[in-house]
Chains A and B, each alone.
Chain A
């Protein structure tokens, strides 16, 4: 046993400000009913990427906010683990770009983690383990995804596929920790519910059928949470907040009921109705939103899921340090509310789905 600690010492989030309503997508495709999207799937808007935004730029913005709030030298970071399933490069790593973009620090253990939409939580697990075992004192765990750039026009996922990033610094100094992170419980399962083959741009998804069949997200998260509660002798009422992966808004609500939690535990972390499915960043943005509201001593159950991966569960206990923790920059709530609406054509252009031919005749055409 080690007496070392591992917990969140700082965090930052970046949610791009461009948004599009589900009504706008429906106006173009007319391939479902508005009531199904807004009142059953519980999604009203999604993020639209600007032309210069991708998983790396969003991760940089989130990382900078986390560093600024931490107020410690960047050189104190010993590891950086970037979880994303939408790396803009196929083979080149993204974490090294991120390490250099964040400042001057070459002594960083870093790696890209690709584990579908559970990549961010996997990064958190790795950072926690590396800090806990003493390999490093502080490590970044980042989840960043651009699901919208990899979702085909005209598919059901287009209504909800979105983008965001969340960066957490995991540290060992008890005086800096704002939330202790307990061990994880994991359920791993191979399921080809969504995937993208080599050379393909768009993620093929089983979509709602994968949810309704109960073999994927609901089964895996339910199993992982139930086993966690049993193993550590928790009851649903022991938690002040519950954070779930949110591919669509109805998922956390349905899981809340299925697993015996109350809506009051889930509501503070709901994000999908307003910003859609932000992939690997989903549970981490929701966690950051929850930490923005949490008080010392409160417990947060965190349950993440990735398509084709399974589910992870952990518990975070908020410390007294959260009161004096410096929350500089925009809060998660402010970032959700800060938005500029665009139409479908603009979204397609910015997300590279209207392609300009690469054979320009002059510099102007």
Chain B
């Protein structure tokens, strides 16, 4: 599955999820730029209690890494935190918004895993 398709499917599951509502509200107004080094980018806009792809939104923080690193994160093999702490991504995330983003993504990944079960 391409990174674009993976992100789209994770976002769909996040939108259907009820377990990360407080984090979605906490991130209201933020725009996370996921960028593949020397490649495509995706902007996730947190609005009205949900998250959607909006590549015209102005990023408020960013997360950049090689495609294999980002794929590992979206496959659930690598946590965003571990990716930051092992210098595999460039990020402007902080310990307040970072874990909130991590929980939101994890919610999408859990539902994805559950779908396959």
A residues lining the B interface (CB < 8 Å): 39, 42, 44, 249-250, 253-254, 257, 262-264, 267-268, 270, 273-274, 333
Contacts and interface: CB of A to CB of B under 8 A. Distances in A.
Nearest to B79: A39
Contacts of A254: 95
Contacts, number: 36
Contact of B84 (A39, A267, A274): A267
A49 B92 CA distance: 35
22 contacts: A39-B81, A42-B81, A44-B82, A44-B85, A249-B85, A250-B95, A253-B95, A254-B95, A257-B95, A263-B92, A263-B94, A264-B91, A264-B92, A267-B84, A267-B89, A268-B87, A270-B85, A270-B86, A270-B87, A273-B82, A273-B85, A333-B87
A267 B90 contact: yes
B65 to A, nearest CB: 11
B100 interface: no
B82 A263 contact: no
Contacts of B91: 263-264, 267
Contacts of B89: 267
Interface residues of B, number: 13
Nearest to B61: A263
A282 to B, nearest CB: 15
B93 interface: yes
A262 B92 contact: yes
Contacts of A250: 95
B59 to A, nearest CB: 13
Interface in B66-107: 81-82, 84-87, 89-95
A interface, over-half SS:
helix
Interface of B: 81-82, 84-87, 89-95
A17 B92 CA distance: 31
A42 B94 contact: no
Which 3 A-B pairs rank lowest in CB-CB distance, beginning with the nearest? A273-B85, A270-B85, A264-B92
B35 to A, nearest CB: 13
A107 B65 CA distance: 49
Residue with the highest number of chain A CB atoms closer than 10 Å, among B84, B92, B94 = B84
B99 to A, nearest CB: 8
Residue with the highest number of chain A CB atoms closer than 10 Å, among B85, B87, B89, B93 = B85
A232 B85 CA distance: 30
A264 B90 contact: yes
A262 B62 CA distance: 12
Nearest to B91: A263
Nearest to A262: B92
A201 B62 CA distance: 46
A263 B85 contact: no
A270 B91 CA distance: 13
Contacts of A257: 94-95
Contacts of A42: 81, 85
A268 to B, nearest CB: 6
B80 to A, nearest CB: 11
Nearest to B90: A264
Nearest to B62: A264
Nearest to B99: A39
Nearest to B88: A267
Residue with the highest number of chain B CB atoms closer than 10 Å, among A249, A254, A267, A333 = A267
Nearest to B81: A39
Contacts of A270: 84-87
A250 B85 CA distance: 10
Contacts of A263: 84, 91-94
Nearest to B89: A267
Contacts of B92: 262-264
